[in-house]
Structure 1
Amino acid sequence: MTGKTALITGAARGIGLAAARKFLAEGWRVAMLDVLSDTLLEAVRELDRPDATLALEADVSDPAAVQAAVQKAHARFGRIHALVNNAGIAIFKPILEVSLEEWQRVMAVNLTGPFLMVQAVAPLMRDQGGGAIVNITSISGLRASTLRVAYGTSKAGLAHLTKQQAAELGDYGIRVNAVAPGPVDTAMAKAVHTPEIRADYHDHIPLNRYGLESELANAIFFLCGEQADYITGQVLCVDGGFDSTGIGLPTLRGQRRNS
């Protein structure tokens, strides 16, 4: 084991759990935080690494719960070398149907949560000489789409918060970057993306497929590691090229097929 520790929020499933597996495979210890206690405990049991894992039940939008969870992780492992702010929620509704309560909840988890987590972890990293933080934003924070007024806006805010954190924490040797996933084969995507939606995404992704959770985990681990020591304040799109393309890709593909 490397002796290094990562704290990952939203770690009970999806990208967070994939990231936990990646860090463990690379010899790190992992504190796994989630509000879904039963799902989290089951994930930790399946990992079967009691020596290197810690389950933390907490809501990232609750300041007291965040502070308590971070202190438990620090007490167990001694140091926190990396923080991955992955916890997030989405509400898919037309803009005129989103309630104030729904808007506020999405902002609380997706934007205030990473703010609070960094407020709690950064002093520990500062005192130990540095660390790495990765915020999980989204292509929805870079490209507007329907049904995502709260989600997309929260992720756009998180992309800027990443730069703000990088600018202010660099003096302490703390690097802060973001990963912006495109369409990924998560449980949520499988539940809400109809065959028609999936076909539309394929039409606009140069690599012509959804990403894998493990591919997002690889990018997260890279940004937390020594090979990324001079990278901070960046938003890395892991999206098969989705953010780079305009509206012409389906037509161009059709022309190629017909030529």
Structure 2
Amino acid sequence: MVHTFPGRFNGKVVAITGGASGMGAAMVARYVAEGAKVLVADMCAEDKGQAQAALYPKGSVYFHRVDISDAAQATSVVTETIKQFGDIDIVHNNASAVVWGPVDEMEPSQWDRCFKVGIDAPFYITRAVVPHFKKKKAGSIISTISTAGLTGDKGFACYCAVKAALANLTRAMAGDYAPYGIRVNAVAPGWTDTAMAAALKATPEIREMVASSTPLHRPGTPEELAAVMMFLASEDASFVTGAGKSKSVIHGLIRLGSHPLRNQLNPT
């Protein structure tokens, strides 16, 4: 069972990209339960975003509909957070665009969008938030990478490339910004039981494949991932920076080689 720590984030302001569903939504719930105010940046429908915000105490969650593949809109994640809550303490680069298939089966537009969402947006968001963090001599940037970005898996080359780039960006920024009291980390989830994943593993064969490819023989839950993120964002991790590549925080594992669902998703 995952436990919350009420009050741990009292007075903190958080921005989360891709926060309207799955792992992002679990982070929103956990942050609010522990006292933070949260801006959810997502390109889902406005009514869905507002419905999510309405689940929480008034004034604790603000939904910002945004397409972070656009540089100006990505930057607005920071400016809108400060506008709504007066400050910003923690940024989660959680959004990603998944394109299945090898490079020769991919359209250039798909490749471009995958990189714009997965690596360009964190660049623009970081560029916008770091000046605020430098003034405070504090701040935390946390990115959701993937075991696929650390090992490489056939069947989704673009996603692997983006997550590898984000892992290396994390390490580089950790060194750049440590002198300013800014911590930069990443978490590499393995198989996590989101709504999309649940639909994909609907058959017994796929469920068995997922179980056999993870050490604990089950997928992780979004709530378990959120618990790892909360630790990195909290003062409990005040001496942790640069986790995300050779010294990674890995949430579950997928064995080296093909992603367990690659053939089911893109049969050859």
Calculate the TM-score normalised by the size of structure 1: 0.89
Aligned equivalent of 2:169: 161
Counterpart residue identity of residue 251, structure 2: V
Among candidates 239, 242, 249, match of residue 233 of structure 1: 242
How many angstroms apart in 2 are the aligned matches of 1:192 and 1:157?
A: 26
From 196, 210, 214, the equivalent of 1:205 is 214
Does 1:216 find its partner at 2:229? no
Q: What stretches of structure 2 of length at least 5 have no aligned partner?
A: 1-6, 258-268
1:194, CA displacement in angstroms?
A: 5.2
Kindly indicate whether the alpha-carbon contact (under 8 Å) linking 1:60 and 1:116 is maintained by their aligned counterparts in 2.
no
Letter in 1 for 2:44: L
Aligned to 1:252: none
Letter in 1 for 2:241: T
> Please, which of 98, 104, 109 is the counterpart of residue 112 of structure 2?
104
**Contact in 1 for aligned 2:26/2:222 (Cα 8 Å):** yes
Q: Relative to structure 1, is the Cα distance of residues 198 and 143 closer, same or farther in structure 2, using a 3 angstrom cutoff?
A: farther
Moved more, 136-145 or 68-77: 68-77
**CA–CA distance in 1 between the matches of 2:199 and 2:102?**
18
CA RMSD of aligned residues (A): 1.6
Give secondary structure in 1 for the equivalent of 2:113: helix
CA distance in 2, matches of 1:48, 1:130: 27
Q: Which residue pairs with 1:25 in the alignment?
A: 33
Give the TM-score taking structure 2 as reference length. Answer: 0.86
Matches of 1:70 and 1:89, distance apart in 2: 20
CA pair 28-132 structure 1, distance change in 2 beyond 3 A = same
Distance, in Å, in 2 between the alignment partners of 1:67 and 1:101 is 22
Query: Which residue does 2:260 correspond to in 1?
Result: none
Decide which structure has greater helix share.
1
How far apart are 1:65 and its partner, in Å?
1.4
Shift of 1:221: 0.7
Instruction: State the Cα distance separating 1:197 from its structure 2 match.
Output: 3.2
Asked if the contact 1:59/1:65 (under 8 Å) is kept, the reply is yes
2:71 is aligned with 1:63: yes
Is contact 2:39–2:64 with CA below 8 Å preserved after alignment?
Answer: yes
Q: Shift of the alpha carbon at 1:42?
A: 2.0
Distance in 1, matches of 2:151 and 2:210, equals 13
Q: Pick from 165, 169, 172 the counterpart of residue 180 of structure 2.
A: 172
Counterpart residue number, 1:250: none
Mapped partners of 2:175, 2:67: distance in 1: 27
Given that 1:57 and 1:69 are in contact with CA atoms closer than 8 Å, whether structure 2 keeps it comes out as no
Report the CA distance between 1:64 and its aligned residue.
Answer: 1.4
Out of 68-77 and 154-163, give the one that drifted further: 68-77
Q: Distance in 2 between matches of 1:157 and 1:5?
A: 27
Counterpart residue type for residue 29 of structure 1? K
Q: Does 1:82 align with 2:95?
A: no
State the match for 1:130 in structure 2: 138
* Preserved CA contact (<8 Å) 1:61 1:116: no
**Secondary structure at the residue paired with 1:218?**
helix
For 1:237, the aligned partner's letter is I
Contact 2:32/2:56, CA 8 A, preserved across alignment: no
CA distance in 2, matches of 1:102, 1:65: 19
String of CA shifts for 1:96-139, please: whole Å, max 9, x gaps.
21111111110110111111111111111111221111000011
Asked if the contact 2:41–2:63 (Cα under 8 Å) also holds between the matched residues in 1, the reply is yes
Query: Does 2:50 correspond to 1:41?
Result: yes
